[in-house]
Structure 1
Amino acid sequence: MNIVSLLSFLSFTIAVAFISWYKTRRENLQTSTGLFFANRNLGFLVVGGALFFTNISAVQFIGENELVYTNNMSVIAWGLSSIFAMLVVSEFIMPVYLRSGISTTPDFLEERYDTGTKRFVSIIFLVSYVVNMLPSVLYSGAIAFNGLFHVSETFHIGYWETIWILVWLIGGIGCLYTVLGGLKAVAISDTVLGIGMFAGGILLPWLALRYLGHGSVKAGFDMLLSAHREHLNAIGGPHDAVPFGTIFTGMLLVNLYYWGTEQYIVQQALASRNLAESQKGIAAACVGKIISPLLLNIPGLIAVHLYAHLHNTAEVFPQIVSDVCPPLLTGYIAAITFGAALTTFNAGLNSSSTLFILNLYKPFKTWKQQAVTERQLVRTAKRFELLVCVTAMCIAPFIAFAKQGFYTYLQMVSGFFSVPIFTILVVGLLHKRMPAIAAKVGLTFFIVTYAISQLWIDTGLHFLHVLALLFVITVLLMLAIGARFPRETPFEQQWNNVVDLQPWKNRHLWSGALILVMVLIFVLFSPLGIAK
C-alpha cells in the first residue's frame, strides 16, 4: 500500500466531507423536510450533480469496465440510452410529481389508485434497496478499494475476509454520513465528486494510453484502434452482454423507471426549488452521462490490450488504475470511486428511511391514533437507516457468487422491482378509469412471472426482452380488468404544488442537442465508425 496514494485518498475524501459539512452546517435537519428533501431549496447544479453521481457508483466503475473487457462496448448503451429517458422524465413526469407536491413516488400512486397500492409499492422499493441496490454498491466499492490499495496483500488477509471488512467499513461510514447530514450533505458531496470525476476522466485515459504506447499517447491510441477491434463495437449482437435491440425494448423501460420512478433518484429532483431548476439539473446530469464513458468504459477498452488474462475480471478497473497512475493520482481516483460508493449508498439509505417513515410508519401511527412529533419521526428514521445498513452489509459479500457477471446480475435482479412499478404508473397516467385492483393484480402478475422466467424456466430470451414482453402482457391484463371493473369517476390530479411550476424555456433546444450527441457516440463506436 503506497503511502502517497493513501494520503492523496484521505486528503480528497476529507476535503469532500468538509465541504459538505460547511455547506450544510446551518441546515435544519430536525424536520422530515430538512432531512429528506434539503428543505426543497436545491439549485440546478446541485440537483444535476446529485442525480449524476447518485447514479454513478462503484457499481458502474467495476461492472461496466469488466463487461467492456470481457465483451465489447455494447454496455455503453445503459448510460447513453438513459439520456433519452431522462429527458422524457424531465418533460412529462417531473411536472406531474411537482404539481402534486408529493414526497415519494408511491404518494402519486396513492393519489392515482389507493393507499393499498402505495403500501405495496413502498414495500417493493424497500425490498429492492435492502437485497439488491445497497448490497451491490457496498460490494463493488469493496472490490474497487481492495484492487486500488491491495488491502488483502498488504495485511495478508484472505480475499473473502477482506471484502467483508471493506463492506462494513464503507457501510459504516455511509450510514454515519447520512444520519448526520441528510439529503443536503449527500447532494453537495455528489456535486464536488462529479467535478472531480470529470478531471479524473480526462487524466486516466490519457495516462493509460501513454502506458499502452510505452510513453507515447499517440502510439497507444494507434494500438487501441488497430487491434481487438471487435471490442470497439457498441452495437451489440444477440450473444453480447447488451444486444442492440434491447435498447428499444426492456432497456428503455428500465431507464424510464429508473429516472422517473426510482425513489432515491427522483428524491434528488423533488428537492429542487422549482420545476425549471429541476429540468436544468436533469439536463446537467445528461451532460455527465455523455462524459462518463471516459472512466466507465475506456479503461476497460485499454485493458484489453494490456492484460491477456485476469483471474478476476471484476478487478479490471482497479488493476489499470494502480498500473498506469502515479501514486498521487491513484489515491485521487480511489477517493472518487470510494465517494461514488458512499454517495449512492447514502442516497439509498436516505430514501429507504423516507419511504418507511412517510409511507408506512407515520400512517400506522395515525391509524393507531397516536400522535407523533417531527423529532420522533427523525429519530425513528435514523434508527431504521441503521437497521437497513446492517442488513445490506450482511448480504453484500455474497454477491461474489453471482454466475453471470456482477453488472448483468445487478440489472437482471432489478427487473423484479423496476418495470412492474413503471407499468402501473404509465397505465394509471394514460387510463383515467383504471381501478386500484388492476394495479395490484398487475404488480403481482409481473413479479411472479418474471421470477419464473429467470429462476426456473429458460425462455431463451435476453432478460430485457422478457421485461418488455411482460410489460405488454401486463398492460393488456390491466386494460381487461379496467374494462370489466372501471373506476366510477375518472382520475383528476389534485394541484398541491409547493414550488413554482414554470418550465425551463430552453429545455427543447438542449434536449435536441443532447440526443444528437448520444446518437453520434453510438455511430462512432459502430461498424460505421472506428469499429470497422
Structure 2
Amino acid sequence: MEFSTTDLWIFAGWLIFMMGFGIWISKRKKQESAQDYFLASKALPWWAVGGSLIASNISAEQFIGMSGSGYVVGLAIASYEFMAAATLIIVAKYFLPVFLKKGIYTMPQFLEQRFDSRVRTGLAIFWVLLFVFVNITSVLYLGGLALQSIMGIPLIYGVIGLALFASTFSITGGLKAVVWTDVIQVIVLIFGGLLASVMVLKAVGGSFWVGLETLIAKAPEKFEMILHKSNPEYINLPGISVLIGGMWIANLYYWGNNQYIIQRALAAKNLKEAQNGTVFAAFLKVLLPLIVVIPGIAAFVLNADVNKPDEAYPWVLNNYVATGFKGLAFAALIAAIGSSLSSMVNSASTIFTLDIYRPMKFKNGGELSPSEDKHLVRIGKISAALSLCVGVLIAPLLGNLDQAFQYIQEYTGFISPGVVAIFLFGLFWKRTSTNAALLTVILSIPLSAAFKFFWPELPFIDRMGLSFLILSAVIIIVSLIENRSVDQKAIQLEKGGFRTSSVFNLASVAVVGVLAVIYVVFW
C-alpha cells in the first residue's frame, strides 16, 4: 500500500495515542487487589460492557479471516455474526443472573462451585491452551499477514510489533486498561471499517446502495444465507444447521462460557448494566457483516488479484480506500487486533493465575492477605507476558492456512460441545452430578478428534452438534445413576430471577426482528 504522509501520520499517531492512553490508565490508579486487576473493580457501565464485548470479539480473524470467507463463501459466513446477536440475548437473560449472583471471577471458578476442583482444573488447562495456541497465535498471524500485505513488513516483525502494542495495556493495567482502551478502539473500529466498505461499494456501483445492489446482481450466489449441499463450502456451513444445529453450540460457548468475552459482563456494576451492555453488543453484531463480510464479496466481484482468500481485505484497502483515509482504515484494523489480543492475553492470565496457580500456591483457600493478593497480580502479569511470547513464536508457523476464520472455529469446536453441555446441565438440571461433568471434560476432545478422523466428510458444525448430543446423553445417564434426587451442589434458581427490564425486552425484540427479516430476504 502506498501511504501518503497524512496516512502515515494518522496511523502512527493512533498507535502512539493508544499505547500512551493504555499506560496512563494503567498508572492512573494503582492496582491494589486481584479484583482490581482481573475484574476492573467490578465498576463497568453498560456502554463500556457492550463496547468492550465487540472490541474484544472483532479482530483480524473477522477483518481478515471473515472477509476472506466472504470472498469464498459470501454472506452465509455472516451467520456467525447474526446468530451471535441472538445468542447474546439468551446469555444476558439466562446466564448472567446466575454468574453475577455467584460473584465469580472466572468460568472455571463457577465449575468448582457447581461441581469440584477436578472439573475446574481440567477445563482451566484446556482454556489456557486454547487461548494461547489457537486464539492468540491466530490473531497475531492474521495481524502480521495484514501488515505484510499492506505495508510490506516481514511477517515476524509485524507479529512482534503487534505483541508489543497489545502488551502496553494488557499486562500492566489488567482488565481496567483493556476495557477502557476497548471503548475508544471500538469507535475507530466501526467508523474505519464502515469507511472501507463504503468506498469499495462506491467503486462497484457509484454509491453505497447502488454498489450493494450491484454485488447482489453480479454475484447472487454470494448472498445465499443457507447453503445447498451442492455448494463446495457446505462442509463449513452445512445448510439449516447454522440455524438449528451446531452453530448454537459455537455461539453459546463463545458468548456464554468463554472467559475473555464473559469477563466484561462479570465486571459490570450490576446485573442491569451487564444485561443492557450485552444487548447493545447484540445490536452492533447485526451491523458488523457490513464491515467484515461485504468487502470480501466486493473483492470477488472486482476480480481481486489475490493468492489466498485472506488477502481480500488488504487488497480492498490497497486499491479502493482513498489517500488520506487509508491510515484511518488501517488504524481500525490494528485497533481490532490490539483490543482482541489484549483481551485474550488478560483472560488467559486470569484463568492461569486464579484457577491453576492459586489453588496450587494457596491450598487453604479463603481470603488472601494483601501481600498474597499482590503476589497473584504479579503472577498474572508474568503469565500474560509469557502467553504473548508463545504466540509470537508459533504465529509464523500458521502460514499455510487458507481460511483462518474457519480454522479457529473448527479447532475451538473440539472443546465447545463439552463446555456448553456442562454449563447448560450444571445451570438448569439439578440432578447433574460431578462425575458426569468430569467424564464430559475427559471425553470432549477425543470424541471430536474421532469424528474428524473417522468421518472427515462430516461438516465440523454438524460434528459440534452431534458431539453435544452424545456428551449430553453421557451427562444424563451418569447423573441418573449417581443421583436419585437433587445434587447437593445444584444451583437454586430463584422465582423471577430471569426477569429483565422493559428496555432490554424491547431491544431484544428489535434485534430478533431484524434477524428474521435478513434470513427471509436472503434465504
Q: Which residue does 1:451 correspond to in 2?
A: 449
What TM-score, normalized by structure 1, do the two folds share? Answer: 0.90
Measured in 1, the distance between the counterparts of 2:310 and 2:82 equals: 22
**Aligned-pair CA distance for 1:506:** 2.1
2:72–2:309 CA contact under 8 A, matched in 1: yes
Contact between 1:145 and 1:334, CA under 8 Å: does it hold in 2? Answer: no
Tell which deviates more after alignment, 98-107 or 362-371: 362-371
Conserved in 2, the CA contact under 8 Å of 1:54 and 1:347?
A: yes
CA contact (8 A) 1:249 1:464 kept: yes
Alignment of 1:50-89 (within 5 A): 50-89=52-91
TM-score, normalised via structure 2 length: 0.92
Is it true that 1:142 corresponds to 2:144 in the alignment? yes
Deviates more, 1:13-22 or 1:103-112: 13-22
Code of the residue aligned with 2:457 in structure 1: it is G
Give yes or no for the alignment of 1:116 onto 2:107.
no
Q: Return the alpha-carbon distance in structure 1 between the equivalents of residues 489 and 209 of structure 2.
A: 61
Contact 2:255–2:261 (CA under 8 A) maintained in structure 1: yes
2:465 alignment partner, one of 464, 468, 471: 468
Change (3 A) 1:38 1:487: farther
In 2: Cα distance, 1:87 partner to 1:245 partner:
21
Structure 2: gaps spanning 5 or more residues: none
Contact 2:430/2:487 (<8 A) preserved: yes
Q: Secondary structure at the match of 1:180?
A: coil
1:229–1:273: structure 2 CA closer, same or farther, 3 Å change rule?
same
Percent same amino acid at aligned positions? 28
Match of residue 214 from structure 2? 223
CA contact (8 A) 1:65 1:300 kept: yes
Please name the residue that 1:397 is paired with: 396
Do the aligned partners of 2:74 and 2:293 also contact (CA within 8 Å) in 1?
no
Deviations 1:17-47 (A, max 9, x none): 4444555553332321111111000001110
Structure 1: gaps (5+ residues): 152-161, 527-532
Q: Deviations over 1:450-506 (max 9, x none)?
A: 01222x2234211111111111111111211112222775345679xxxx9995342
Q: CA deviation at 1:431?
A: 2.4
Give the drift of 1:308. 5.1
Specify which of 197, 212, 220 is matched with residue 205 of structure 1.
197
Give the corresponding residue for 1:490.
Answer: 487
Cα distance, 1:429 vs. partner? 2.0
CA shift in 2, pair 1:272/1:451, >3 Å: same
- In 1, Cα distance between the equivalents of 2:283 and 2:348? 28
Counterpart residue type for residue 15 of structure 2: T
Structure 2 counterpart of 1:123, which letter? Answer: I
Instruction: Encode CA deviations 1:228-267: one digit per residue, 9 max, x unaligned.
Output: 2211222222342423322211110110111110001010
Tell me, in whole angstroms, the C-alpha distance in 2 between the residues paired with 1:212 and 1:505. Answer: 42
Instruction: Give the distance between the partners of 2:115 and 2:405, measured in 1 at CA.
Output: 34
Distance in 1 between residues matched to 2:515 and 2:33, nearest whole Å: 41
The equivalent residue for 2:156 is: 164
Counterparts in 2 of 1:185-334, with a 5 A limit? 185-213=177-205, 220-238=211-229, 239=231, 240=233, 241-247=236-242, 248-307=244-303, 309-334=305-330
1:350 to 346, 351, 354: 346
Instruction: Report which stretch shifted further, 182-191 or 72-81.
Output: 182-191
RMSD of aligned residue pairs (Cα, Å): 2.4
Find the residue that maps to 2:97 and give its secondary structure: helix
Kept after mapping to 1: 8 A contact 2:306/2:315: no
Q: Is the 8 A contact 2:115 2:489 kept in 1?
A: no
Instruction: Quote the Cα distance in structure 1 between the aligned partners of 2:455 and 2:491.
Output: 45
Spell out the pairing of 1:31-46 with structure 2 (5 A cutoff).
31-46=33-48
Q: 1:416: Cα distance to partner?
A: 1.5
**For residues 384 and 221 of structure 1, what CA distance do their matches in structure 2 show?**
46
Q: Whole-Å Cα distance in 2 between the matches of residues 45 and 490 of structure 1?
A: 38
Q: Is the 8 A contact 1:275 1:501 kept in 2?
A: no
Read off the aligned partner of 2:390 and give its amino acid letter. Answer: T
- Contact 2:19/2:165 (CA < 8 Å) preserved in 1? no
1:226 offset after TM fit, Å?
2.4
Once residues 272 and 147 of structure 1 are traced to their aligned partners in structure 2, the CA distance between those partners, rounded to angstroms, is: 39
Partner of 2:434: 436
Q: Distance in 2 between matches of 1:196 and 1:259?
A: 23
Q: In 2, Cα distance between the equivalents of 1:89 and 1:440?
A: 23
Distance in 1 of aligned mates of 2:46 and 2:433: 37
Q: Report the CA distance shift for 1:120/1:272 in structure 2 as closer, same or farther (over 3 A).
A: same
